[in-house]
Amino acid sequence: MKLDARIPEGPIENKWTKHKAEIRLVNPANKRHIDVIVVGTGLAGASAAASMAEMGYNVKAFCFQDSPRRAHSIAAQGGINAAKNYQNDGDSTYRLFYDTIKGGDYRSREANVYRLAEVSASIIDQCVAQGVPFAREYGGLLDNRSFGGVQVSRTFYAKGQTGQQLLLGAYSALERQIAKGKVKMYARHEMLELVVVEGKARGIIARNLITGELERHSAHAVLLCSGGYGNVFFLSTNAMGSNVTAAWRAHKKGALFANPCFTQIHPTCIPVSGELQSKLTLMSESLRNDGRIWVPAKKEDAEAIRQGKLKPTQLTEEQRDYYLERRYPSFGNLVPRDVASRAAKERCDAGLGVNATGEAVYLDFSAAIERYGKTEANIRGLHSASKEEILKLGKDIVEAKYGNLFQMYEKITDDNPYETPMRIYPAVHYTMGGLWVDYNLMTTIPGCFALGEANFSDHGANRLGASALMQGLADGYFVAPYTVGDYLADEILTGTISTDTDAFVQAEKEAQDRIDHLLNNKGSKTVDHFHKRLGKIMWNECGMERSVEGLTKAIADIQALREEFYKEVRVPGKAETVNPELEKALRVADFIELGELMCRDALERNESCGGHFRAEYQTPEGEALRDDENFTFVSAWEYNGDPSSAKLHKEDLNYQFVEVKTRSYK
Amino acid sequence: MNLTLKIWRQSGPKDKGAMKTYPIQGVEADMSFLEMMDMLNEQLVGKGEEPVVFDHDCREGICGSCSMYINGEAHGPGRGITTCQLHMRSFNDGDTIYIEPWRAKAFPVIKDLMVDRSSFDRVIAAGGYVSVNTSGNTLDANAIPIPKEDADKAFDAATCIGCGACVATCKNSSAMLFVSAKVSQLALLPQGQVEAADRVLNMVHQMDLEGFGSCTNTGACEVECPKGISLENIARMNREFLTAAVSAD
Ligand SMILES: Cc1cc2nc3c(=O)[nH]c(=O)nc-3n(C[C@H](O)[C@H](O)[C@H](O)COP(=O)(O)OP(=O)(O)OC[C@H]3O[C@@H](n4cnc5c(N)ncnc54)[C@H](O)[C@@H]3O)c2cc1C
Ligand code: SF4
Ligand code: FES
């Protein structure tokens, strides 16, 4: 198989315009006879479904939640990037493109990233037109904040609920098309198989999660917008239901899976507290605009803090180590996520962690509270304000900016972050890897497209904050509606696709067999039991630091776990009813296979780049050591009967517009 | 801590359903309410019994899935939180906890604690949007400045998570708080003005069709709303509705 990304020729700033002009269109009368399936209604899926329906296609949209409004995108907090340059701080399409390529540690595809930057500004226009209430300044114009890895202020936000507001905007566009009858919505449905007929994606098998019935749905194109696979680690910041099944099933039917080991571990999450914990909570990166990260400089102090004998507020400035500011003076607390996470792990491994488990660092707002308080006092002309008054003013400002995050933190930990620093630790957050797609966002199965977090294309080995929302909406609103049309131009004479063909019968049988096997298994262990064990293996060996020994052992352990799972798992209840244990079991079965592929991918990549840090490849100062000569490529894995026999293909990345450099944030 | 759980079990929409008692041991104060439910379900599965079915996803108070009526209150004790944000430190050793689904004609029970809230989606489909296509060919986002105060109020209304606690709490099962939140958000923004009259009429009409009850201003919804959606929104919607109804005549 030869991988062809089908990147249009020409200078980078003209590629998309030229491509759009040359792309084939489907006339309105023909669109009425073309069906499109959209799996997922997060930012990518809801925007794609609404846009395709507006264009005139018949859309069927699927999600496993009870409403499209509850997709995981709803939880995104901090913001969305766009090269608007409203702040007049030197931002531009090129700068956003460059920051994203650099942030991704030179492992993403230039042409796709440039297009993302290019359409970013339209996203904000579109969302405002839909009534998305972004934060504004007193003058009535849109406000911005900064995110990690960049030196401009280009992040648009709606307090700590940006994902919610953007998703509700896309959801309302979707509901508008549902009301018009152009989208048929299948909520509480889970895709279990992709149906491929004569080499083309022609439909899906979905399980109705209420009746348990397996349904066949056909279409001329299938858009997978099913999100990321961070839950392979069991504990992550993803919603409980986020899973890899839709993408994995497409992979097993022939779609290559790209860079599976590129996982983002987010530096600022609430630390793990106990064995029965079900998920981790993110504290938005926006907090690093104002919060300073530190640990005690001396081990004895850290020890005393862990034992509850010392409070962080009792340590003087000299007794603290603001390690990000120390190591990376130019970006300080705003280094990219992979760098910040590894630095936290390094300090905790050195015995300086600050909670009972030794795996936590401080995120401290006292300096920001004082700074804002002083400015506010000056603005109000309170030149003799007391320290208390200043702090009070400062707290009000901090509350206006981050109130809901502080409240969330307090609810979970019972600690008041206005008075004492937050304790945070890295956690699995996002997956840069995903289905391999070409410039048109089509996978290696003709007619099967992947959008949003489910594809691999834009973030390389590390995603910059506030860029996932941008990518999801770019793909769904502005890219796929054109590029899918180019494919569909060949389908105008196809007519309705029958679901009675062998391919549908066979795909349904495959899903049925999996369900029967799980329900009839007379095992003794719960699904979560296996999921937690898988998560531990992945976190320890394929998490923030990876090594040949660890990965080799992990692969063997996962293979054994898979065998045990099929022998020992117990799934109660029946197939013909609501059965959450069955839903979980089907997902975990796929996660176990994916886990093995992730470890293989990590093992093959003999370099450290972005979120992929191999212990063997680091500088004497502990910085990542990339190997551009041998690894400037996208790994794309072809399924071959088993994850262990998956075949590696390489898409070489030719940087023509950006000079590949060592990434430095010092 | 050790607790006694009294949980509503109902095998399907046609089943009558009943409360069942489950003792549970070893619950920790730092666990969330849903983690406590996970623990119970792990034990039930271990015994080969069917676990308790409930909706949940984000587990951080934003998706609006986790509809549970706990000790007679939507989302249990505590203000401004969803069930997934409720922690077991709010309970004491030896407590008996009653757990039921949302109860409203427009939210029929599917199984155990899981209910069907698709009526909310249909109310939004009736007009909870600005009729603009997603072409990207719109005005520049800063072309129309919006007073910060209006933008903030619109945002506050827009934070509704569609959980349905307001309906479950209201003795009339009215959806006024939910509907008014969306109507207000769009009424407060210039982009939503053009269709304001049709929007409120259509959404209220759909709300009535779905079988939600009428509002008698008890204010219970505002108290139980996890997102602090204010009654002001209902007042604003009533004004919008009156103006629209008058001009429609
Ligand atoms: C806590 C948190 C905060 C974040 N904050 C930010 C932020 O501030 N800025 C930013 O840019 N990014 C942020 N991200 C990342 C960002 O939210 C996600 O990457 C993005 O929302 C993914 O959108 P999506 O549309 O690709 O997928 P999702 O929103 O995950 O949607 C997936 C959809 O697919 C459906 N689905 C999945 N599998 C199936 C199946 N088999 N059958 C049927 N349906 C299926 C689901 O029902 C759902 O509708 C955050 C992520 C987290 C976890
Ligand atoms: S108004 Fe409040 S209680 Fe009602 S659905 Fe919205 S968030 Fe839930
Ligand atoms: S599970 Fe999402 S709000 Fe509770």
ipTM (interface pTM): 0.98
- Higher pLDDT residue, B92 or A356? B92
Instruction: State pLDDT tens for residues B163-203.
Output: 999 999 999 999 999 999 999 999 999 999 999 999 999 99
The answer to whether A163 and A73 are in contact (CB under 8 A) is yes
Contact B42 A122 (CB under 8 A): no
Token representation of residue A173? 């566009």
Q: Which residues line ligand 3 (CB under 6 A)?
A: B 56-59, 61-66, 82-84
Per-residue pLDDT, A348: 96
Q: Where in chain A is the domain with CATH 1.20.58.100?
A: 501-632
Helix axes B196-209, B176-187, angle to 10 degrees: 170
Per-residue pLDDT, A273: 84
Q: Give the C-alpha separation, A148 to A290, whole Å.
A: 12
The answer to whether B86 and A554 are in contact (CB under 8 A) is no
Per-residue pLDDT, B183: 98
Instruction: State pLDDT tens for residues A104-125.
Output: 999 999 999 999 999 999 999 9
CATH number of A268-427: 3.90.700.10
Q: Taking 70 as the threshold, does the pLDDT of residue A270 lie above it?
A: yes
Q: What percentage of chain A has pLDDT greater than the value 90?
A: 93
Instruction: State pLDDT tens for residues A283-302.
Output: 988 899 899 999 999 999 99
Which of B30, B58, B90, B193 is best to mutate for the A interface (most A CBs within 10 A)? B58
pLDDT band at residue A558 under the 50/70/90 scheme: very high
Instruction: State pLDDT tens for residues B64-119.
Output: 999 999 999 999 999 999 999 999 999 999 999 999 999 999 999 999 999 999 99
Instruction: State pLDDT tens for residues A563-578.
Output: 999 999 999 999 999 9
Mean pLDDT rounded to a whole number for chain A: 96
Residue indicated by tokens 């199984």: B111
Give the closest ligand to the alpha carbon of residue B67: 3
Instruction: State pLDDT tens for residues A437-463.
Output: 999 999 999 999 999 999 999 999 999
Ligand 1 and A477: CB distance under 6 A = no
Q: Which CATH architecture has domain A501-632?
A: Up-down Bundle (1.20)
Among the atoms of ligand 2, which is closest to the Cα of residue B167? 4
Token representation of residue A179? 């009301």
Of B65, B142, B186, the CB nearest to A70: B65
Contact A131 B130 (CB under 8 A): yes
Q: Give the C-alpha separation, A306 to A300, whole Å.
A: 10
Residues B118-248: name the CATH superfamily: Alpha-helical ferredoxin (1.10.1060.10)
Fold of B3-111: Ubiquitin-like (UB roll) (3.10.20)
* Cα–ligand 3 centroid distance for A70 (angstroms): 9
Domain extent listing, chain B: 3-111, 118-248
CB within 8 Å of A624: residues ≥ 6 apart: A105, A338, A342, A608, A609, A610, A613, A617, A618, A663
* Mean pLDDT (whole number) for A153-173: 96
Q: Taking 90 as the threshold, does the pLDDT of residue B244 lie above it?
A: yes
Instruction: State pLDDT tens for residues A306-342.
Output: 999 999 999 999 999 999 999 999 999 999 899 999 9
Q: Please spell the DSSP secondary structure of A466-497, one letter per residue.
A: T-HHHHHHIIIIIIHHHHHHHHHGGGTTT-SP
**CA angle, residues A246, A252, A255, in degrees to nearest 5:** 80
Instruction: State pLDDT tens for residues A368-426.
Output: 999 999 999 999 999 999 999 999 999 999 998 888 889 989 989 999 999 999 999 99
Per-residue pLDDT, A67: 98
* Cα–ligand 2 centroid distance for A624 (angstroms): 47
CATH number of A15-262+432-491: 3.50.50.60
Instruction: State pLDDT tens for residues A506-515.
Output: 999 999 999 9
Per-residue pLDDT, B21: 98
Beta-sheet pairing, B3-9 with B18-24:
antiparallel
* Mean pLDDT (whole number) for B49-67: 97
Per-residue pLDDT, B249: 64
Q: Give the C-alpha separation, A267 to A339, whole Å.
A: 9
Q: Which residues line ligand 2 (CB under 6 A)?
A: B 160-166, 177-178, 181, 225-227, 229
Per-residue pLDDT, B87: 95
* Mean pLDDT (whole number) for A52-61: 98
